[in-house]
Structure 1
């Protein structure tokens, strides 16, 4: 029988967590699924674990390949998946046993193209439900694009369930934040999305994960992902909104990079600030529409006086650290 649901799990050196991840998928209350494990050249025993699970359950398939990154792993799985619906799980996370039953029911009962849930953030000693201010609702096409641009719909593809025909465009390979870049493309032909505020996905917070190990390069790459979104919207009615988000993301990236002076040299910091400044100047040639006063000030400082921007951010960071030390001493 052809599977109704394809679940894609890219795997790279996560043997410590992989069993919990796969176990949570095999225990789904919805049973008509296939699981595609894509081993991205793991060296910690993850490859062998994938093969063991494949022997246990005929619904599990394994692709072994050289290390080419998470985006390429997902793309390879998209080429062979058979389901009418597609979900993604990261190999160090796990899901509630009724996650896909609930999301499928939401899609079918509302005739939507995508269903979105929320998630738990799991640390060693704590579990936090990351729920949104958006309650359960049906979101139309115009609202969807606005929410994506404003980052109200997060680019966490692992908390989404897609109709298969939406995912015709592959993720950009060899880049971080590929899900952030691709999301507007995958939502392009979406007429309706159903959003539920139920946390059904368990996102594991790890020090060594890509997202939590932010370097100067990764801050800059996230800003680049925002620029790629802007280019997607540049000929749409949402151009000005996307342009504002580029400014906001550029200011934020420049702020974090400037404040990394305890880890990086001033020369390294300045090289990335110059890159951000150049990118912003190419987009913000004609004004600073609808930015707050503070954002306009910071953008002006960044574009016209990057050295002063760096000095200002490092001074503010020093004040914050001093304040926190004071609180730690007396509370």
Structure 2
């Protein structure tokens, strides 16, 4: 851990089919000074044994086994153990481009940004892959004074900043913070609402460096009940609205936008489902 500069936090639950691909993508990094903090969240399959196998092979991999408590609970356990200057997050079914860590670290060092985010791929089980729209222009750098027009605006109006993965953070930004463990979706953004105000600079690259595997049974997929999704997104809207004063955006219009986020998210999701369905028909037709 002393030589490592970047920790990769991986919550793992029932991931024996995908965790090797995830870990192998870290071992394939062009930047070697990383440390994996993998939390086996009560898996009942072979995930824990696979993690232990990698840990026995390479001391850069640390594994922690705990009873099942959810992804946020697992990430919180790893956040408490951070010893590196930087941290990124990776889900057990996702993976990295070989130069992901090197590229994001260079951007952080060149721009003095405490948060760096990148574009990412959506990968589907059937092999289809597509790129979402860019969050910002390539090479964008924003200071804290510009956050209301950039990152905070995206938090209010879109979903591009909903995730902790595809990001590199200075670990000190997370001291004393924890992800909400009572939310089954949206917990990433809820957490980031508190993380971003601690940063003095943000940078973005339009180079896709992360692969997000869209499982149909994932927590953000169809397995969640509509009531759960509405409840969690309502909590997010309340959190966003309460943060506007601290962000210098305490106006009626922005409060309205905070609460309009809930219907906007569902309309956007419905549009993506229809678009993806039309693309499949076109390909198959």
Q: TM-score range by the shorter chain?
A: 0.7 to 0.9
Q: Secondary structure at the match of 2:102?
A: helix
- Are 1:226 and 1:246, in contact at CA under 8 Å, matched by a contact in 2? yes
Q: Secondary structure at the match of 2:113?
A: coil
Cα separation, partners in 2 of 1:191 and 1:45, compared to 1, 3 Å: same
1:171 aligns with 2:182: no
Show the counterpart of 1:233: 244
Show the counterpart of 1:140: 143
Q: Secondary structure at the match of 2:238?
A: helix
- Are 2:93 and 2:213, in contact at CA under 8 Å, matched by a contact in 1? yes
Show the counterpart of 1:34: 35
1: CA distance, partners of 2:131 / 2:161: 15
Larger Rg: 1
Greater relative contact order (CA < 8 Å, ≥ 6 in sequence): 2
Q: Secondary structure at the match of 1:24?
A: helix
Cα separation, partners in 2 of 1:255 and 1:35, compared to 1, 3 Å: closer
Give matches, 1:116-265, under 5 Å. 116-123=117-124, 124-132=126-134, 134-136=136-138, 137-144=140-147, 145-151=152-158, 153-168=160-175, 169-176=177-184, 177-213=186-222, 214-220=224-230, 221-234=232-245, 236-240=247-251, 241-252=253-264
Alpha-carbon deviation of 1:249?
A: 2.4
2: CA distance, partners of 1:2 / 1:167: 21
Show the counterpart of 2:8: 7
Show the counterpart of 2:85: 84
2: CA distance, partners of 1:27 / 1:219: 36
- Are 2:108 and 2:116, in contact at CA under 8 Å, matched by a contact in 1? yes
- Are 1:11 and 1:46, in contact at CA under 8 Å, matched by a contact in 2? yes
Is there any run of 5+ residues in structure 2 with no aligned partner, and where?
none
Q: Secondary structure at the match of 1:155?
A: coil
Deviation sequence 1:118-137 (CA, Å, 0-9, x none): 10000123111224062221
Is there any run of 5+ residues in structure 1 with no aligned partner, and where?
260-319
Q: Secondary structure at the match of 1:157?
A: coil
2: CA distance, partners of 1:33 / 1:112: 19
Q: So what's the TM-score if we normalise by structure 2?
A: 0.85
Cα separation, partners in 2 of 1:164 and 1:53, compared to 1, 3 Å: same
2: CA distance, partners of 1:170 / 1:84: 18
> How many residues were matched structurally?
262
Give matches, 1:303-314, under 5 Å. none
Q: Secondary structure at the match of 2:165?
A: helix
Structure richer in helix, relative to its length? 1
- Are 2:39 and 2:66, in contact at CA under 8 Å, matched by a contact in 1? yes
